[in-house]
Structure 1
Amino acid sequence: MSLNLINDSWIPMRDRDGNLRLIAPWQMADSDLSWPAWPRPDLDIACIEFLTGLLRLADPPAHSDDWEDRQAPNPERLRIRLAAFAPAFELLGDGPRFMQELGGLTGDIRPAELLFLDSGGEGGAFTVHAGRYSDLSLPAAAMALYAMQTQAPSGGRGMLTSLRGGGGMSVLLDPGKGLWSLLWANVPDGRPGQISDLPWMRRTIPSDSGAVHVPPEPQPVEALFGMPRRYWLLAEGERVTGVIQRPSGTRYQGWQHPFAGHYLTKAGDEPLPVRPRPGHGGYRHWQGLALRDPEQLRLRPYNLAQWFDRARGEPADLILAGWAMSNAKAVDYLFSKVPLIDLDPQAEQLLIAMIEAANLFSQSLYGALTGAGIEGETRDLLRETLYVQTQSGFEQALSQLSAAPLAEEIRETLARSWLALLRKTAMALFEARVLPGLGDLPMDDQKKIADAHRNLGAAFAGYTPQGGKAFDALGLQRPVVKKKKEAA
């Protein structure tokens, strides 16, 4: 048995009443559907991107007016448009296979779980999660294959990353009105594609030949169907039991995924994709996404920039999702929703300054913990906890800024309150970790901890370089440093 990803009903979905359905892709235009129902959140996000990619391929809006005119779903129109692409979406069989090497591959057979980014295996991310899946259903294999190709991490010699970088962050707009509104909010404008636009419909030009693949036009279809890895699935009956993988797939150069934020290390540099960090997807992720970047070193994703042209102030949330990586190791999966912020420039600038101050003081906490002999995962966790424990304070400031114009006295009050909250939280985290049992330590260790504690306090008083920069960002006056009197 094979699976045709256009014609067959294979995608699990929840409707608004919580009932589970299996749908064919054209049924995404059913206004009663709410969210994918895969057993893993990374497959849910991959499914949303896959369906949005099919919209971009078969029936995209031509421009913002066309997008607005076609917001009401039309399942029959979509079914007809998608049907033309069915020959390119066979998962198995002798002809072209979805996201697999044209003509097949030979070589060592690896476990089917190689397709999951957080499973151990050659060319994948090396974690402790190997051995979970002896085989996969055809739908699960198809969705995992798409997720891997569009998020492929660094995986050793010849195992290339996805066109948005290894484990890049997905940024998706959600107007909160069900599945169709979510998909339609994110589909890029453009002309309908052709079967020949899909990379598995042509021979791979191996990257070890020096070949690179550049985008033929702005936001082409392949941006949502990038295929950097060379795979061939092996199946028995209705289960995928193994994978053959070969190195040196397609090397993408100059591409920007429409759902990925990017940043510049300095003006004029090549944009690099934003990657998730371990832990809570809170306010430290917001700059360049929910908030603008006044220095223009953080570039909003294409779908987000497009939203402001299309929706003209309509409310929406941002979904931030993706694997946080440590080299080739998947360490955490981020999934969070944050509000898309629409404030006047001065109020938005204060929020950006608050994030900058938090980043600077988190560095001060990190340095103080290092000085006190705290390193490794404990140090990283305490630094992340600073952000988590100040999230509600940041959101309270956002509520105040949304409710009233930003007068100077409000700005200064919020800045000083934020400084006080960061100081209270950071000092408490440091003291709870290093002060218990202090008297039992050798005198040299006691002195190191006391010095680290004093330096952390000095940062929050504005006396250290990081503290001074944080005061500047918040618009607060740095303390006056008195010069020492010269000896007579």
Structure 2
Amino acid sequence: MNLMNDPWIPVRCADGHTRRIRPHELTATDNPVVALDAPRPDFNGALAQFLIGLLQTVCAPVDEEQWEDWLWSPPAPETLAQHFTPLAPCFQLDGDGPRFMQDFDIKMAGNKKPIEALLIEAPGDKTLKENADHFIKSGMVKAVCPACTAMALFTLQTNAPSGGQGNRTSLRGGGPLTTLVVFDARTFREPALLWRDLWLNVLLKKEFLAKNPLKTDEPSVWFPWLSPTRTSEKDQKVTSADAHPAVAYWATPRRIRLDFTTIRGTCDVCGTAVEELLQYYTSLNFGANYVDWEHPLSPYYSKTPNSTEWIPQHPQPGGLNYRYWMSCILNHKQTERIAKIVWVFQEQRQNLLSDSQFLAWAFGYDMENMKARCWYETRLPMIDLSDNLKRQLLADFAKNLIDSATEAIEFYLASAIRVAWFGLTQDKIKKLNKDQRNKLKPYNAFIDLVFWSTTEKPFYEQLCKFADALHAGQDWREIQKLCAQEWHRILRQQALTLFDQLAMAGEWEYENSKRLADAYNALRWGLDSNSFKSKLGLAPPPDPDSKSRKGQKRKKS
């Protein structure tokens, strides 16, 4: 199977039908392609990155004029084929030569693994040995078609988690957060096209190659599987200072060789009946160890303002709610950096496309070491403010909204419910051991999930209202105050409503009425306090010396 010449990418077309296409058929005008349609959401995310990487590597525009021309007038499939067809030898999935995303050594000796182990959520060797595959059972996927195998292979190499000694993580660590700029189809004046959403995420050639340390720009340095595998038995590293920028899209941290001893049947992933199904692959540890890279499609953070080490963002338990909006959309503090493609779009392209609205498609795995806890994805609104001062005002306002919501849930609501349910005050929680605190996590996670989801729509409403005022040149201070007052009302209402729903859900005769009343009153008092309101600029900040003065008065008395 060849990934340039054979149809393998599942897509949905304008008439609603699905089919598999070759990469160059992205821009076909007869029943155009409008979306990816893989059998798994993580495959869709991986395929989007595959296609963006392909376009970035061999079709990068020379200037903004060419980029905009191709955005509105996509190149014909024949034009794309001229770029892609010469790469066919590099994208062979099987055969005796170099294989796509696989180890260069044709005689690589390693461990034979079932094909399902390519799937990130599949139980690992340790889990199977301890018979601990309770929720995701082994043996559910026994045979996979070549197309789904290619998707699984690319997904694993792109998201590779830690997996035992020498099993290297992806270039961005296990399950990185990816943010892509896409059109908001609800407001877009043109017909939806997958091509446009992909092309929005392609950098100019000069930007892409700005830090290229190599003198060459050809397939031999783009694709790691075309040359002897760079291994890491002695902790050798592959850095951005000694590799081509395209490697960010094509990194191969895992040493893998697919076994093409196939059988006939139905694919356990997509359900398609085919002549060839793969059952096994060979794996070896100590593949390439990628260090000190910044991927154009991911946001990063540093631990301290002056640090030179930038760490990829990763989804965390609770999902990609509006807490992530600033990390994905705005550069608002020294220790966080949005994805390069998002920054380039805001600084150079959004003003060219002012008639349209855009979203950041954010997705990734929540990983706990080698265990995939969840796949998350969402669409975050991108607000058009080309003026840097106005963008900073919006960032400050959004931070106030998010910080106040965080305090409402973590400090007031969650504390009140713990008191109501268990009689656990903050002082008592501090005395709990680690195991006892861990038992509270599921309760905290549930409260978080409900609170953040119920306040998400109002958050964006207030954010857009403030942004509209900035855009229109209105008195932003007055609008900010009105929005902050409304946000405070929403947080207060939602917190008290959730307390009623969660804390008072049991039979009344079995409840501790005094404990419930005390918890409710404490919650209401906290939400109405000047300390909480000051987060939104609705009250002066508390005097940091007030507590010490009160303590001194008590001592004197």
Same fold (TM over 0.5): yes
8 Å CA contact retained: 1:462, 1:479: no
Distance of 2:13 and 2:41 partners within structure 1: 17
Q: How does 1:73-472 map to 2 (within 5 A)?
A: 73-74=74-75, 75-104=77-106, 105-122=108-125, 128-130=135-137, 131-175=139-183, 176=185, 177-190=192-205, 193-216=218-241, 220-235=245-260, 236-237=262-263, 238-269=276-307, 270-290=309-329, 292-313=330-351, 314=353, 315-343=357-385, 344-345=390-391, 346-364=393-411, 365-371=413-419, 372-373=421-422, 375-404=440-469, 405-435=474-504, 436-437=506-507, 440=510, 447=515, 453=520, 455-462=522-529, 468=532, 471-472=534-535
Residue number in structure 2 paired with 1:29: 27
Gap change, CA 1:246 and 1:375, over 3 Å in 2: same
Task: Work out the CA distance in 2 between the residues paired with 1:387 and 1:117.
Answer: 27
- 1:217 positional shift: 7.5
Aligned counterparts of 2:498 and 2:541: Cα–Cα separation in 1: 25
CA distance in 2 between partners of 1:363 and 1:293 (Å): 25
Give CA deviations for 1:32-87 in whole Å, capped at 9, x if unaligned.
21111111111111111111111122221134343224332222222111112111
Mark the CA change 1:332 to 1:120 in structure 2 (over 3 Å): closer, same or farther.
same
Distance 1:307-1:231 versus aligned 2 partners, 3 A rule = same
- Asked if structure 2 preserves the Cα contact closer than 8 Å seen for 1:88 and 1:195, the reply is no
Change (3 A) 1:149 1:418: same
Tell me, in whole angstroms, the C-alpha distance in 1 between the residues paired with 2:304 and 2:10: 44
Q: Report the 3-state secondary structure (helix = DSSP H, G, I; strand = E; otherwise coil) of the residue aligned with 2:462.
A: helix
Letter in 1 for 2:145: S
Partner AA of 1:416 in structure 2 = Q
Are 2:259 and 2:281, in contact at CA under 8 Å, matched by a contact in 1? yes
**Counterpart residue type for residue 327 of structure 1:** N
Could you say which structure has the larger radius of gyration? 2
Distance 1:417 1:100, change over 3 A: same
Q: How far apart, in 1, do the equivalents of 2:343 and 2:37 lie?
A: 29
Q: Percent identity?
A: 28
List runs of 5+ in structure 2 lacking aligned partners: 186-191, 210-216, 264-275, 423-438
Change in Cα spacing, 1:123 to 1:171, as seen in structure 2 (3 Å) is farther
- 1:477 aligned residue: 540
Residue ranges of structure 1 left out of the alignment (5+ in a row): none
1:128 counterpart letter in structure 2: F
- On the 8 A contact 2:383/2:467 being kept in 1, the answer is no
Question: Which letter does structure 1 place at the counterpart of 2:446?
Answer: L
Deviation at 1:422, TM superposition (A): 1.5
How much does 1:28 deviate? Answer: 1.7
In 2, are the aligned partners of 1:160 and 1:229 still within 8 Å (CA)? yes
Displacement of 1:434 = 2.7
Tell me the residue number matched to 2:189. Answer: none
Kept in 2: contact 1:164–1:257 (CA 8 A):
yes
RMSD: 2.8
Structure 2: how far apart are the matches of 1:218 and 1:351? 38
Taking a change above 3 Å as real, the CA distance of residues 142 and 250 of structure 1, as seen in their structure-2 partners, is same
CA distance in 1, matches of 2:53, 2:127: 24
Cα gap change, 1:458/1:226 in structure 2, threshold over 3 Å: closer, same or farther?
A: farther
Q: Does 2:6 align with 1:8?
A: yes
* Kept in 2: contact 1:135–1:240 (CA 8 A): yes
Measured after TM superposition, the shift of residue 12 of structure 1 is 1.5
User: Any conservation in 1 of the 2:403–2:535 contact (CA below 8 Å)?
Assistant: no
Q: Which amino acid counterpart does residue 4 of structure 1 have in structure 2?
A: N
Deviation by residue 1:398-450 (Cα, 9 ceiling, x = unmatched): 3322433353232122112212221222233234323335763679xx65x66
> How far has the Cα of 1:257 moved from its partner?
1.5
Match of 2:49 in 1: 49
TM-score, normalization by structure 2: 0.79
Kept in 2, the 8 Å contact 1:357–1:471? The answer is no
Using the TM superposition, give the Cα deviation of residue 391 of structure 1 relative to its aligned residue in structure 2, in angstroms: 1.1
Name the aligned partner's letter for residue 384 of structure 1. L
TM-score normalised according to structure 1 size: 0.89
SS at 1:325 equivalent: strand
Separation (CA, whole Å) in 2 of partners of 1:194 and 1:363:
51
| Cα shift readout 1:441-478 (whole Å, capped 9, x = no counterpart) | 679xx65x666555544542347xxx55x723545324
Q: What is the rounded CA distance, in whole Å, between the counterparts of 2:302 and 2:328 in structure 1? A: 14
Name whichever of 38-47 and 472-481 sits farther off: 472-481
Q: For the structure 1 residues 352 and 172, does the alpha-carbon distance in structure 2 shift closer, same or farther, using more than 3 Å as the test? A: same
**Distance across 2 between alignment mates of 1:219 and 1:390:** 44
C-alpha change, 1:276 and 1:219, in structure 2 (3 Å) is farther
Residues 23/123 of structure 1: CA separation in 2 closer, same or farther (3 Å cut): farther
CA offset digits 1:251-305 (Å, max 9, x no partner) = 1111011111111222122111111234453311101223x24323221101111
**d(CA) in 1 for partners of 2:529, 2:165:** 47
Report the equivalent of 2:213: none
How far is the alpha carbon of 1:376 from its aligned partner? 2.8
Query: Hey, what's the Cα distance between the residues in 2 that align with 1:437 and 1:103?
Result: 67
* Pair 1:356–1:151, CA change in 2 (3 A): same
